Structures are given as structure tokens and as C-alpha cells.
């Protein structure tokens, strides 16, 4: 397949190099996980309250999106049309003399 005599020594040297790199990469990933766990466990109650408020807000937004997606098309179209009519009533017409 390969006619070069250098392929076997190159592969033989690459195996330990790759093993060392993978060992160090795994240690770095474990260290990252440890730091993330420590930071989440050290979170103060105020930060936890802020995070809980954000989660509640996002859940409310998802509920609205689910309602829009599961709503019947005609009801959704009527609601959109109603928004356009109410916006047209409150908008002031542009002045031509400006």
C-alpha cells in the first residue's frame, strides 16, 4: 500500500504523542467540570433567585409560543388582524406639508 519506509516509524512515534495529548485533554476537561460544579454550588441565594426569575420568564414565553403554534389558524389570523386594526386606529396619519 505505502512504499515509503518511513510510515512505520512515524506511526510508532505518533501513538505515544497522541496518548499524552489525550491524557492532558481529559485532565483539563475534568478540571473544567470541577470548577463549574464549584461555581454552581457557591452561587448565592440572590443569584439563585435571579436565575429562577429568568427561568420563570422563559417558561412563560415558551407557553405563549406553544399557544400560538397549537392555536387554530383562523383564530390566529383573526388575532393578527385585530392587532393591525387597533394599531391603525391609534396611529396618526403622516403630514404631507412637512
Asked whether residue 95 carries a pLDDT value surpassing 70, the answer given is no
Contact (Cβ atoms closer than 8 angstroms) between residue 76 and residue 68: yes
State how far the Cα of 50 lies from the Cα of 43, in Å rounded to an integer. 11
Compute the distance between CA of residue 60 and CA of residue 66 in angstroms, rounded to an integer. Answer: 10
Instruction: Please give the Cα distance from 72 to 18 (Å, whole number).
Output: 57
- How far are the Cα atoms of 25, 82, 92, 94 from residue 30, in angstroms, in the given order? 9, 55, 61, 63
pLDDT at 1 over 90: no
Q: What is the pTM of this model?
A: 0.37
Amino acid at each position: 500500500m505505502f512504499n515509503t519506509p518511513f510510515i512505520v516509524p512515524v506511526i510508532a512515534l505518533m501513538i505515544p504523542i497522541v496518548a499524552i495529548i489525550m491524557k492532558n485533554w481529559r485532565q483539563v476537561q475534568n478540571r473544567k467540570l470541577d470548577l463549574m460544579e464549584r461555581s454552581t454550588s457557591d452561587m448565592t441565594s440572590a443569584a439563585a433567585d435571579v436565575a429562577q426569575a429568568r427561568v420563570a420568564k422563559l417558561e412563560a414565553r415558551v407557553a405563549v409560543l406553544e399557544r400560538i403554534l397549537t392555536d387554530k389558524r383562523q383564530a390566529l389570523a383573526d388575532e393578527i388582524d385585530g392587532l393591525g386594526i387597533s394599531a391603525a386606529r391609534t396611529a396618526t396619519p403622516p403630514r404631507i406639508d412637512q
